[in-house]
Amino acid sequence: MPLRWGVNYTPSEGWFHSWQDFDLDAVRADFSSIAKLGLDHVRIFPLWPLLQPNRSLIRPAGIADVGAVVDAAAEFGLDVSVDGLQGHLSSFDFLPSWVTSWHRRNIYTDPQVVAAEAALITALAQEVTSRPNVLGMTVGNETNQFAVERHPDQQVTSPAEMGEWFTTLLAAARKAWPTGMHQHSFDDNAWFVDSCPVTPRHAATLGDATTVHSWVFVAVAHLFPQGHPARTLFADYLVQLADAYAENPARPIWLQEIGAPYPAVPFDGAADFLEQSLLPVLDTPNLWGVTWWCSHDVSRKLADFPELEYTLGLLDSDRRPKPAGLRLAELIAAEKANPTAPLQRTTALSFDPGDEATGVGRSIADPSGELFTAWLARAASGTKPTLVRSTKTSDADYLAARGITDVVN
């Protein structure tokens, strides 16, 4: 199928707080500006506390607003992917009051909380499933953020418990919406940090697609100087890592988030960064789509965002296309006219994934390590390497399915 091109929708007026003062005309204006860039889908983020302010109360008006946004997108030829539990967005946490403070309960393991989360996922799925321009659901945005050690109010859980949580919520989406493409999302701690309870196995086996969120400011920009190929090849590395951890060689990969964060990416370099980061991944045979972060800049009227969040949009907060937006429009038009041919990568670097049940050992793939250095040297020379787990190097059928003929230890 043709590669899908989309954007993570950040409302130009009021950011995600605009769900509280819902203005469908403003949404339509945003979608009009998005569609003019040639994009075909948006990912939307209704806020959990607004939809479910009490464990036993899911607001019908809030759910209806989500449906109205989906319908508005259809007016401009845009498909929609719906995120469920928001959760975490752009450094801010949005948890309902019934799991915080005096009512603090674990969002991953408390049976009553999990049942309520499944009820919300079900309500959202039931609202949109019959609409022709919906794609599916993501459980929530980078839901591992609450479980990692660096979080100031960590919700402790184990890899086994996290797997049960994903399975429960994905099953709720599937039951209410049998035909949707449903998945979960996470930051790159899942690929690199041994203690993260979301493991590469969760990433590459649960749900209908493996999502990839590529952000160079987390580690790569600290390790490699401006202009280093590591910065623009990082998204490709993550896509190849996602491919390596999948048991099914044909499993779809969705580059669900990638952006040009300042100052890791200079303002005048955002358009080049976009193009140079996306071109290397476009020949991936099982790449479902690319969804840029984000649609519109956060307005300077809003306080306390990390500086980079104010400048990530393809369009500014007045809905005017920025250089990166115009470059993406050019790239989309070129790809539609002459699509990049799929390419199976014949050379794969082998790595030991460690204990795949717990994720201990996954840090071998961290950008500071030898695996990334070796992969990068080949990728920068234009040889287009991929990755393979050492546990798969003797599986001839698996290697053949991925087109791998040369394994480098």
- CATH value at residue 8: 3.20.20.80
Same domain flag for 371 and 324: no
Q: Is the pLDDT of residue 229 over 90?
A: yes
Q: Is 342 inside any structural domain?
A: no
**In the predicted model, what is the mean pLDDT of the chain?**
97
Please give the Cα distance from 7 to 372 (Å, whole number).
Answer: 28
Angle of helix 370-380 relative to helix 229-245, nearest 10 degrees, comes to 110
User: Which residues are within 8 A (CB) of 194 and not within 5 positions of it... i.e. 6 or more apart?
Assistant: 354, 359, 360, 361, 362, 363
- Indicate the pairing of strand 253-258 with strand 287-292: parallel
Nearest to 274 by CA among 289, 287, 293: 293
Q: Is 112 inside any structural domain?
A: yes
Q: Is the dihedral of CA 279, 292, 34, 284 positive or negative?
A: positive
Same domain flag for 377 and 256: no
Task: Give the phi and the psi of residue 343 in degrees, each rounded to 5.
Answer: -135, 120
The whole-number pLDDT of residue 228 equals: 97
The whole-number pLDDT of residue 276 equals: 98
Residue where a domain terminates, one of 310, 337, 364: 337
Question: Per residue in 2-24, pLDDT tens?
Answer: 999 999 999 999 999 999 999 99
Band the pLDDT of 198: cuts 50, 70, 90.
very high
Band the pLDDT of 183: cuts 50, 70, 90.
very high
The H or E element spanning position 387 is: strand 386-389
Same domain flag for 69 and 215: yes
**218: amino acid identity, one letter:** V
Question: Per residue in 214-228, pLDDT tens?
Answer: 999 999 999 999 999
DSSP annotation of 280: G
Query: What residue numbers bound the domain in which 143 lies?
Result: 4-337
Q: Is 77 inside any structural domain?
A: yes
The whole-number pLDDT of residue 128 equals: 98
300: left (phi over 0), alpha (psi -120 to 50) or beta: alpha
- CA distances to 163, 164, 166 from 160, in Å: 5, 6, 10
Same domain flag for 392 and 326: no
DSSP annotation of 216: T
Residue spans of alpha helices (H) in 229-296: 229-245, 270-278
Q: Is 49 inside any structural domain?
A: yes
Same domain flag for 384 and 241: no
What residue ranges in 86-196 does DSSP mark as E strands? 88-89, 92-93, 134-140
The H or E element spanning position 95 is: none
Q: Which tokens belong to 102?
A: 């005096």
Same domain flag for 100 and 243: yes
Same domain flag for 362 and 400: yes
* Mean pLDDT along residues 290-308: 97
Q: Is 313 inside any structural domain?
A: yes
Tell me how many domains the chain contains.
2
User: Which residues are within 8 A (CB) of 307 and not within 5 positions of it... i.e. 6 or more apart?
Assistant: 262, 263
Query: Is residue 84 helix, strand or coil?
Result: strand
The H or E element spanning position 19 is: none
**Token pair 């580059």 is at which residue?**
255
Q: Is 175 inside any structural domain?
A: yes
Q: Is 110 inside any structural domain?
A: yes
- Indicate the pairing of strand 253-258 with strand 210-214: parallel
Band the pLDDT of 253: cuts 50, 70, 90.
very high
The whole-number pLDDT of residue 328 equals: 98
Same domain flag for 320 and 371: no
Same domain flag for 17 and 100: yes
Same domain flag for 269 and 381: no
Q: Is 285 inside any structural domain?
A: yes
Same domain flag for 146 and 190: yes
The whole-number pLDDT of residue 1 equals: 85
Q: Is the pLDDT of residue 118 over 90?
A: yes
- CA distances to 45, 176, 178 from 142, in Å: 12, 22, 23
Residue where a domain terminates, one of 316, 337, 358: 337
Residue where a domain terminates, one of 296, 314, 337: 337
Q: Which tokens belong to 25?
A: 């005309």
Question: Per residue in 339-369, pLDDT tens?
Answer: 999 999 999 999 999 999 999 999 999 999 9
Same domain flag for 404 and 298: no
The whole-number pLDDT of residue 278 equals: 98
